Each structure stands twice: as structure tokens, then as C-alpha cells.
């Protein structure tokens, strides 16, 4: 497997900002784990650091246990991490948090196990024709307040959803100042006050994906990519590279997103941007063709929530 990664600190009005994205690629016997952690809030980089250091390690340790059901146990690992975050007073996790998207590639079973909270997205790039065309399949869905089920949970827990500068955000019912306040996601780790008062959840959505012969490239990226670029556009960019150019593919994707941010904001704001590109080894089993897989427009193949 050829893997490339690239991370670029963003730009905000008022000067330099702390890079709050974190990422990891960890390998074990027969498995590779990919993770993206996009911190937010004053201490988001500390929260993202904490989660990136501990959660992937816990996942790989769980995988080594005989008979362990990774998909069933992942919600417990996320909630344990959340509890430990809130118990540590030095991390600032009351008003700061992070997205989490983790993908475990099992090279023996040809499967991906995915778990995520927030809006750092995983995407599969598939061969679509012999002419070299590709198509993108979202493997995760963004947890944002526009999702009806997410909005209902927020409202039932005492929070509310409102549009702030054209962006749906989660607020407390008593909040009156809408200028830049509120979370633009409905699940995260950290964000203790929003969890307690607004119904933000640390429970991940978990899915399994059976790799097919046409699956070529796995993308795991922070929303610094997806805020300015469609999944299909990202797929088209990285598919122009060979597997041994994985780092160059990641760099190109970051540079393209950066340019889009600069054009759309007149250079005043660029989000942190983090990309992992994995050119997957071929699936040789002839029975694993693409005839039975979901269409590219279908969200989250084999999706299940715990």
C-alpha cells in the first residue's frame, strides 16, 4: 500500500493561528489505521493531540484481543476517550473539541471498519471505466445540524439549531448572541459544555465496507478539503497520480483546496487542511467485483449506528 499525507496550517483574520488538525497512520500485522482529528475552540489542538495519541492505540490493542468485535466495541472506546478528556482539567475540553474519523484497513479480510464523529470525511475512489474515469463514494456522512435525526436529538436534549451567517449551528436555548457562536457539528469529542447543555454526542457512527476490485484510493480528510471541494473533484485530482506518487497527490489536493479558500474569502481565511491518500492494494478475488456495491450517490454503504 502506498500512503501519502499532507497537512497545512490555515489562516484566520487577525494573524496566525494554531494548527489544530492532527492525523495518524499506524500499521500493525495485517492492518493499517488512518485517523483525522480536526480540533476546534481555544484548546482544540490539545484535545486533538490527546485523542490522536490514545484512541488509535486503543483500537489496535482491541484488535489483538481474540474474538474482539471491533465494530461493536468502537462506541465504548469513543465514550471512554470522552470521559477521560473531561476528567483532565488541563486540556480545556469544556469549550474545545475535535472531530474524529478513524478507518481500519484489514488486508486479510479486505474490509474497512470506520467510525466517526463530526465532519472529517472518508471517501473511496473507484475505477468507473477502462478509460480511466473514476467515481467517488462517501464512506461517512458529515454530522451537521441539517440532518433531521441529529437536529431532533439536539432539541430533545435542550439545545436548538439556528442559522448563523448562513451556517447551521448548535446553540443553547438561552443563547441570544449569534455572532460566530455555536458548533457547526452535532457530534464530537471534547466540547463538554455543549455535550451537557445542547445534546452534542460522542457516540460514533460505525460502518463496515467490503473492498471491491474497482476500489483504488482511500481519502481521509479534514473539512478544510470538503468545505471547498466536492468528493468527485478530489477523486479526479488524486487519480491522476501513480501509487508511488501518493505524497505528491496529497500535496496537490491541499494546494488546490488552499487556492479555493483564498479565492472564496479574498485571502482572509483558510481552514486548516489535512489529507491522507492511500492507494489500496488490488483485491484479487474475482468474486469481489463492483456489481453488488452501492451506487456512488448512496451514503455510507453497510452503514450501522450504535
Q: What is the pLDDT of residue 179?
A: 41
- Residues ≥6 apart with Cβ < 8 Å to 27: 33
> Can you tell me which residue has the cell 453497510?
302
Supply the pTM of this predicted model.
0.88
Q: What are phi and psi of 235, to 5 degrees?
A: -60, -45
Task: Give the pLDDT confidence of 15-45 residue by residue, as tens digits.
Answer: 667 899 999 999 988 899 999 999 999 999 9
Residue 266 three-state SS:
coil
Task: Give the pLDDT confidence of 144-178 residue by residue, as tens digits.
Answer: 998 999 999 999 888 888 887 778 889 887 665 44
- Please name which of 45, 25, 27 lies closest in space to residue 35, comparing C-alpha atoms: 25
Give the helix, strand, coil percentages of the chain, each rounded to 5: 30, 30, 40
Q: What is the pLDDT of residue 15?
A: 63
Kindly give the residue spans of alpha helices, DSSP state H, lying in the chain.
44-63, 70-87, 148-156, 192-198, 223-226, 231-238, 246-265
34, burial (CB in 10 Å: exposed 0-12, middle 13-18, buried 19+): buried
Q: What is the pLDDT of residue 292?
A: 42
Question: 222 near 21, Cβ under 8 Å?
Answer: yes
Q: What is the pLDDT of residue 178?
A: 45
Question: 249 near 4, Cβ under 8 Å?
Answer: yes
- Please name which of 221, 187, 186 lies closest in space to residue 36, comparing C-alpha atoms: 221
Question: 146 near 162, Cβ under 8 Å?
Answer: no
Domains of the chain (ranges; CATH) run 2-143+185-305 (3.60.40.10), 144-184 (no CATH)
Q: How far apart are CA 239 and CA 246, in angstroms?
A: 10
Q: What is the pLDDT of residue 295?
A: 39
DSSP 131: T
Q: How confident is the model at residue 291 (pLDDT cuts 50, 70, 90)?
A: low
pLDDT, mean of residues 288-304: 43
Task: Give the pLDDT confidence of 89-122 residue by residue, as tens digits.
Answer: 889 999 899 999 999 999 989 999 999 999 999 9
- Please name which of 194, 10, 210 lies closest in space to residue 118, comparing C-alpha atoms: 194
Q: How far apart are CA 12 and CA 78, in angstroms?
A: 30
Q: Is the pLDDT of residue 5 over 80?
A: yes
Q: How confident is the model at residue 3 (pLDDT cuts 50, 70, 90)?
A: very high
User: What is the chain's mean pLDDT, rounded?
Assistant: 87
Q: How confident is the model at residue 306 (pLDDT cuts 50, 70, 90)?
A: very low
Task: Give the pLDDT confidence of 174-220 residue by residue, as tens digits.
Answer: 665 444 468 899 999 999 999 998 899 999 999 999 999 999 999 99
Q: What is the pLDDT of residue 282?
A: 85
- Give whole-number Cα distances, 303 to 22, 163, 280, in Å: 25, 29, 21
Task: Give the pLDDT confidence of 217-271 residue by residue, as tens digits.
Answer: 999 999 999 999 999 999 999 999 999 999 999 999 999 999 999 998 888 888 9
Q: Is the pLDDT of residue 58 over 70?
A: yes
Q: Is the pLDDT of residue 302 over 80?
A: no
Q: How far apart are CA 33 and CA 27, in angstroms?
A: 6
Q: How far apart are CA 31 and CA 52, in angstroms?
A: 17
- Give whole-number Cα distances, 229 to 130, 217, 253, in Å: 25, 17, 10
- Which DSSP string do the residues of 62-127 spell out, in sequence order? HHTSTT--HHHHHHHHHHHHHHHHHH-TTS-TTS-EE-EEEEEEETTTTEEEEEEESS-EEEEEEE
Amino acid at each position: 500500500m502506498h500512503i501519502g499525507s499532507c497537512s497545512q496550517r490555515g489562516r484566520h483574520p487577525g494573524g496566525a493561528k494554531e494548527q489544530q488538525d492532527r492525523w495518524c497512520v499506524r500499521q500493525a500485522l495485517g492492518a493499517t489505521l488512518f485517523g483525522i482529528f480536526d480540533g476546534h475552540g481555544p484548546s482544540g489542538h490539545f484535545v486533538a493531540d490527546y485523542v490522536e495519541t490514545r484512541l488509535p492505540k486503543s483500537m489496535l490493542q482491541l484488535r489483538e484481543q481474540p474474538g474482539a468485535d471491533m465494530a461493536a466495541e468502537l462506541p465504548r472506546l469513543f465514550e471512554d476517550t470522552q470521559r477521560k478528556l473531561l476528567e483532565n482539567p488541563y486540556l480545556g475540553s469544556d469549550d474545545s473539541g475535535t472531530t474524529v474519523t478513524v478507518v481500519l484497513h484489514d488486508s486479510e479480510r479486505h474490509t474497512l471498519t470506520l467510525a466517526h464523529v463530526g465532519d472529517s470525511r472518508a471517501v473511496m475512489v473507484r475505477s468507473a471505466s477502462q478509460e480511466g474515469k473514476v467515481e467517488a463514494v462517501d464512506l461517512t456522512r458529515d454530522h451537521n445540524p441539517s440532518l433531521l435525526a441529529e437536529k431532533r436529538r439536539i432539541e430533545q436534549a435542550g439545545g436548538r439549531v439556528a442559522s448563523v451567517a448562513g451556517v447551521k449551528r448548535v446553540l443553547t436555548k438561552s443563547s441570544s448572541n449569534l455572532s460566530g457562536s455555536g458548533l457547526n457539528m452535532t457530534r464530537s469529542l471534547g466540547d463538554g459544555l455543549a455535550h451537557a447543555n445542547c445534546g452534542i454526542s460522542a457516540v460514533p457512527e460505525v460502518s463496515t465496507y467490503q473492498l471491491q476490485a474497482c476500489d483504488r484510493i482511500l481519502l481521509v480528510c479534514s473539512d478544510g478539503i470538503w468545505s471547498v471541494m466536492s468528493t468527485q473533484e478530489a477523486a479526479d485530482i488524486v487519480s491522476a497520480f501513480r501509487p508511488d506518487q501518493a505524497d505528491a497527490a496529497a500535496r496537490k489536493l491541499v494546494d488546490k483546496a488552499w487556492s479555493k479558500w483564498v479565492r472564496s474569502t479574498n485571502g482572509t481565511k483558510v481552514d486548516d487542511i489535512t489529507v491522507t491518500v492511500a492507494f489500496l492494494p488490488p483485491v484479487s478475488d474475482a468474486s469481489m467485483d463492483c456489481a453488488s456495491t452501492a451506487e456512488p450517490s448512496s451514503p455510507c454503504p453497510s452503514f450501522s449506528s450504535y
